[in-house]
């Protein structure tokens, strides 16, 4: 007998589940369905993301509600619009063979009149984000007096996002007699408090140890200099050709910058963050689900709860502020029994953070080595050679072209031909990775300076062969991070990001490397560029250093350093105001994002304590 039938689910639903490929219940489903089907208890279910919680509450609801009635009997509250749509679609799929099941998704950022119309037509299950739900209740547009079940899905995240009060208000419109089912991946104190406040003797189910990650996820970390983060990231993805990943950043701007830099370099990537319009968000999600993009660059909130199958890698481009977010992030991979990798790119200062996550998850992270340029190129080459080996030749269709092809290539030796073929696709990689350096930081041998977060100067100052190190009079006081600066340089000069080497972000100025033959283009490009009303100045860093008598790149003892070591000092040039720099070249685009304009130093100087509630986006409503 089908194990779902044994759990008490009717045939019509089980048939739909079979079509969805659900052969047997997941552990949380197996344990919670019988309890919930009784319909007589409040309930708390704790299980990792990707373990099938939607069906765990969805199937019992479909069994318990009376679909011959047309009034709301269950309300499911969840934190984001994406999740809301996902849950309502999942429920509709399970209910495919049932009659008169009406599910409405209620969320912000979309036309309320459509949602009201659907409600008026009659619904039994409302799936909602708290803000919009309250709005609709406030209009007296829905009757919750017959609600039998309230589900709080991803309760931890709803609390993180500041929905507590909204939830209180919504619950107060439902009858005393209703049952409340709470689902969460983690059980922070606040969730426990909510459970206490709203529930009477809830049945509690914890699958696995609380807060331990999904066992199918392997955790890896790379230790590199902060300034090498982007280069490391690119190596990792270049070394993983089949990657289908989600890349997590901490701010919208960082998200946007990384995505832009990737797109510029020819990757299939796009950004997902809270500043996009709903339409844009939908489009990006669709692209990702369709796999027409390979890398989704996202903020925590925007990607919360997203269930995309086959995500191979989660990359923590920046570690999250809070430990729980790490669990949620990594939970985007290894879904429905598959395995996945969660990668963190960190600097030495963040090692402690990794240890902390390891302790909490009870799982050891593997320290991985950034592949060398040679390894990456080799991997890509052999990937292509493999493709060449396996390609199916359509003899018939290629036949008419063969004489001409032979004529073109007849002169070439086999070796020459092979070399040319390999080069066609690989010049990009060969070019990018020629003279590439070792990005790994030796954590066994961290010198004192580095422990303090100051990388060893003598090594940092090596300019890559083929590159020239240039000085630019903008830096972190202008709220630039490395990605910002890269974008600024690329935009101003029309030079591709791949021709820009290392970027050393300082206080009021920075250094960056550019391929030797593009130096003039940089000068020309910046000739007409202003930043915050001040002229942008480029100089050859080598020349500067000789001038000031410092070691190469080491403005450490030159006069310039005095201004760089203090973030309060003003730039020497122009009247530009370094600290309030909100203008900048980003100008119109994402400019109302004041939340992500926290001083950069904060973001760069390691992470705050995980318990800190400092998420910039956490109050955002969708
Ligand atoms: P959670 O809410 O715990 O994060 P979801 O309910 O979103 O997890 O389910 C994760 C994935 O697992 C979804 O793609 C879902 O379709 C799939 N899934 C759920 N239950 C089963 C099952 N019994 N068999 C196979 N796949 C399942
Ligand atoms: Mg879920």
* Per-residue pLDDT at 102 exceeds 80: yes
pLDDT of residue 372 exceeding 80, the answer is: yes
**What's the confidence (pLDDT) of residue 80?**
86
What is the average pLDDT across 382-408? Answer: 86
pLDDT, tens digit, for every residue of 325-349?
Answer: 888 888 888 876 678 899 999 998 8
SS3 at position 228: helix
pLDDT for res 575: 34
Fold of 3-206: Rossmann fold (3.40.50)
Tokens of 293: 């993009």
Closest Cα to atom 15 of ligand 1: 52
d(CA 103, CA 85): 10
> Is the pLDDT confidence value at 586 over 50?
no
pLDDT in tens, 189-202: 778 888 888 888 88
Phi, psi of 504 (to 5 degrees): -105, 110
**pLDDT, mean of residues 383-388:** 79
Q: What is the pLDDT of residue 445?
A: 57
Task: Report how far ligand 2's centroid is from the alpha carbon of 195 (Å).
Answer: 18
What's the residue count for the chain?
622
Atom of ligand 1 nearest to the CA of 55: 6
Question: How remote is the CA of residue 90 from the centroid of ligand 1, in Å?
Answer: 9
Residues 61-65, mean pLDDT to the nearest whole number: 96
Q: Whose CA is nearest to atom 22 of ligand 1?
A: 22
Closest residue by Cα to residue 228 from 431, 462, 430: 462
Which three-class secondary structure state does DSSP give residue 501? strand
The mean per-residue pLDDT over the stretch 257-272 comes to 90
CA dist., res. 520 & res. 621, Å (int): 47
Tokens representing residue 565 in the block: 């070591």
Strand partners, 245: 295, 313
More confident residue, 239 or 577: 239
The predicted structure's pLDDT at residue 214: 67
| d(CA 209, ligand 2 centre) in Å | 18
For the chain, how big is the Rg over CA atoms in Å?
28
Q: Judge whether 228 and 513 are in contact, CB under 8 Å.
A: no
pLDDT mean over 43-65 = 92
Q: 392 vs 168, 397, 424, CA distance in Å?
A: 62, 12, 20
The pLDDT tens digits for 205-236 are 887 654 455 678 889 999 999 889 999 999 99
DSSP 214: P
Q: Report d(CA 316, CA 204) in Å as an integer.
A: 32
| pLDDT exceeds cutoff 90 at 613 | no
Residue 364 has pLDDT above 50, yes or no: yes
Q: Using alpha carbons only, what angle is made at residue 274 by residues 126 and 324, rounded to the nearest 5 degrees? A: 80
Distances (CA, A) of 134 to 137, 150, 163, 326, 447: 5, 14, 11, 30, 56
C-alpha–C-alpha distance, residues 103 and 323, integer Å: 34
d(Cα 61, Cα 38) in Å, to the nearest integer?
11
Ligand nearest to the CA of 79: 2
pLDDT value of position 496? 87
Atom 18 of ligand 1, nearest CA residue: 52
Burial label for 57, CB within 10 Å (0-12, 13-18, 19+), is buried
Contact between 158 and 152 under an 8 Å Cβ cutoff? The reply is: yes
Which tokens is 72 given?
């709301």
Can you name the residues that pair with 535 across neighbouring β-strands? 530
Closest ligand 1 atom to residue 48 Cα is: 3
C-beta 26 within 6 A of ligand 1: yes
The CATH number of 217-372 is 3.40.50.300
Residue 52 CB less than 6 A away from ligand 1:
yes
Residue having the nearest C-alpha atom to atom 19 of ligand 1: 52
Give me the mean pLDDT over the 414-422 stretch: 83
Q: What is the mean pLDDT of the chain?
A: 80
545 lines ligand 1 (CB under 6 A): no
Quote the DSSP letter at residue 550: P
DSSP E strands, 40-133: 43-46, 74-77, 103-106, 125-128
CB 58 within 8 A of CB 94: yes
Cα–Cα distance for residue pair 30/426, rounded to 1 Å: 51
CA of 52 to the centre of ligand 1 (A): 3
C-alpha to C-alpha distances, 180 to 54, 124, 155, 578, nearest whole angstrom: 15, 16, 12, 52
Higher local confidence (pLDDT), 118 or 412: 118
Ligand 1 contacts CB of residue 57 (under 6 A): no
- Name the residue at shortest CA distance from atom 17 of ligand 1: 336
| pLDDT band with cut points at 50, 70 and 90 for residue 547 | very low
> Of the ligands numbered here, which is closest to the C-alpha atom of 55?
1
Distance 183 CA to ligand 2 centre (A): 8
Between the CA of 267 and the centroid of ligand 1 the distance, in Å, is: 30
The tally of CA atoms less than 13 A away on the side-chain side of residue 601 is: 11
One fold for 3-206 and 467-560:
no
Axis crossing angle, helix 252-264 with helix 482-493, rounded to the nearest 10: 50
Give the CA distances from residue 224 to residues 350, 370, 402, 413, 533, in Å, rounded to whole numbers and listed in that order. Answer: 10, 8, 50, 43, 35
Give residue 549's pLDDT band: very low, low, confident or very high (50, 70, 90). Answer: very low
- Residue range 243-264: mean pLDDT, rounded: 91
| Other Cβ atoms closer than 10 A to 97 | 14
* pLDDT at position 550: 37
Ligand 1 atom index nearest CA of 47 = 3
128 C-beta neighbours (distance < 10 Å), count: 26
pLDDT exceeding 70 applies to what percent of the chain?
A: 82
Contact residues for 400 (Cβ-Cβ < 8 A; gap 6+): none
- Give the tens place of pLDDT for each residue, 477-529: 787 888 888 989 998 998 988 888 888 887 778 889 999 999 999 999 998 88
Q: What is the pLDDT of residue 342?
A: 94
pLDDT at 282 over 80: yes
Structural domain boundaries in the chain:
3-206, 217-372, 377-433, 467-560
Structure tokens at 305: 């709860």
Q: What is the CATH code for 467-560?
A: 3.30.70.330
Q: Give the ligand at the shortest distance from the Cα of 208.
A: 1
More confident residue, 264 or 245: 245
Q: Which residue, judged by its Cα, is nearest atom 12 of ligand 1?
A: 336
Specify burial of residue 35 (Cβ count, 10 A radius: 0-12, 13-18, 19+).
middle
Would you call 252 helix, strand, or coil by DSSP? helix
Between 255 and 265, the higher pLDDT residue? 255
**Is 22's C-beta closer than 6 angstroms to any atom of ligand 1?**
yes
**Pairwise pLDDT comparison (202 vs 541), residue with the higher score:** 202
Cα(20) to centroid(ligand 1), Å = 10
Residue 450 and residue 606 in contact, taking contact as beta carbons nearer than 8 Å: no
Tell me, using a 6 A CB cutoff, whether residue 9 lines ligand 1: no
Residue 292 burial by Cβ neighbours in a 10 Å radius (0-12, 13-18, 19+): exposed
CA distance 105 to 123: 10
Give the ligand whose atoms come closest to the C-alpha of residue 78.
2
User: Mean pLDDT throughout 374-398?
Assistant: 84
**For the chain, what percent of residues have pLDDT higher than 90?**
36
Cα 242 to Cα 27, 287, 291, 345, distances in angstroms = 31, 16, 11, 19
């Amino acid at each position: 007998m089908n194990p779902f039938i044994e759990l008490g689910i009717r045939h019509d639903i089980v048939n739909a589940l079979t079509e969805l490929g659900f052969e047997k219940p997941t552990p949380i489903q197996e344990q919670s369905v019988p309890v919930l089907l009784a319909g007589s208890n409040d309930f708390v279910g704790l299980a990792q993301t990707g373990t099938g919680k939607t069906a765990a509450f969805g199937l019992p609801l479909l069994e318990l509600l009376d679909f011959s009635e047309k009034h709301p009997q269950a309300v499911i509250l969840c934190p984001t619009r994406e999740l809301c749509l996902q849950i309502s679609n999942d429920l509709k799929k399970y209910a495919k063979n049932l009659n008169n099941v009406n599910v409405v998704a209620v969320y912000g950022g979309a036309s309320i009149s459509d949602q009201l119309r659907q409600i008026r037509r009659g619904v039994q299950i409302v799936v909602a984000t708290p803000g919009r739900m309250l709005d609709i209740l406030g209009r007296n547009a829905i009757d919750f007096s017959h609600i039998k079940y309230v589900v709080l899905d991803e309760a931890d995240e709803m609390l993180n996002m500041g929905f507590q009060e909204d939830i209180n208000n919504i619950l107060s419109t439902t009858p005393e007699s209703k049952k409340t089912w709470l689902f969460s991946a983690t059980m922070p104190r606040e969730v426990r408090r909510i459970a206490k406040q709203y529930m009477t003797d809830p049945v509690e189910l914890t699958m696995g140890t609380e807060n331990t990650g999904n066992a199918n996820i392997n955790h890896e970390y790379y230790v590199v200099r902060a300034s090498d983060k982007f280069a490391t990231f690119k190596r990792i993805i270049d070394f993983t050709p089949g990657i289908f990943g989600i890349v997590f950043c901490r701010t919208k701007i960082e998200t946007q910058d990384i995505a832009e830099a990737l797109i510029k370099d020819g990757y299939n990537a796009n950004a997902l963050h809270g500043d996009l319009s709903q339409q844009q968000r939908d489009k990006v999600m669709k692209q990702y689900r369709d796999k027409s993009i390979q890398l989704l660059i996202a903020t925590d909130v925007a990607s919360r709860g997203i269930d995309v199958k086959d995500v191979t890698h989660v990359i923590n481009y920046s570690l999250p502020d809070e430990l729980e977010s790490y669990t949620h992030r990594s939970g985007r991979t290894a879904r429905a029994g598959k395995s996945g990798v969660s990668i963190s790119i960190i600097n030495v200062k963040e090692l402690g953070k990794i240890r902390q996550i390891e302790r909490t998850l009870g799982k050891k992270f593997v320290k991985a080595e950034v592949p060398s340029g040679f390894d990456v190129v080799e991997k890509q080459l052999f990937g292509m050679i493999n493709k060449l080996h396996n390609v199916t030749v359509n003899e018939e269709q290629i036949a008419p072209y063969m004489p001409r092809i032979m004529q073109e290539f007849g002169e070439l030796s086999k070796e020459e031909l092979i070399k040319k073929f390999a080069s066609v696709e690989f010049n990009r990689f060969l070019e990018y990775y020629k003279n590439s350096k070792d990005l790994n930081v030796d954590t066994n041998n961290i010198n004192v300076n580095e422990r303090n977060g100051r990388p060893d100067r003598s090594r940092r100052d090596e300019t890559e062969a083929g590159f020239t190190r240039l000085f630019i009079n903008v830096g972190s006081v202008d709220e630039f991070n490395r990605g910002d600066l890269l974008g600024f340089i690329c935009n101003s000069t029309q030079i591709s990001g791949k021709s820009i080497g290392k970027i050393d972000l300082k206080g009021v100025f920075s250094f960056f490397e550019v391929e030797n033959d593009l130096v003039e283009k940089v000068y020309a490009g910046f000739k007409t560029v202003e930043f915050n009303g001040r002229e942008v100045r480029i100089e050859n860093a080598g020349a500067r250093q000789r001038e000031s008598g410092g070691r190469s790149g080491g403005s450490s003892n030159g006069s310039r350093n005095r201004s760089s070591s203090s973030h309060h000092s003003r730039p020497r040039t122009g009247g530009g105001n370094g600290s309030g720099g909100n203008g900048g070249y980003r100008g119109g685009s994402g400019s109302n994002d004041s939340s992500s304009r926290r001083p950069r130093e904060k973001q760069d100087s390691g992470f705050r304590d995980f318990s800190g509630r400092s998420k910039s986006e956490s109050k955002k409503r969708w």
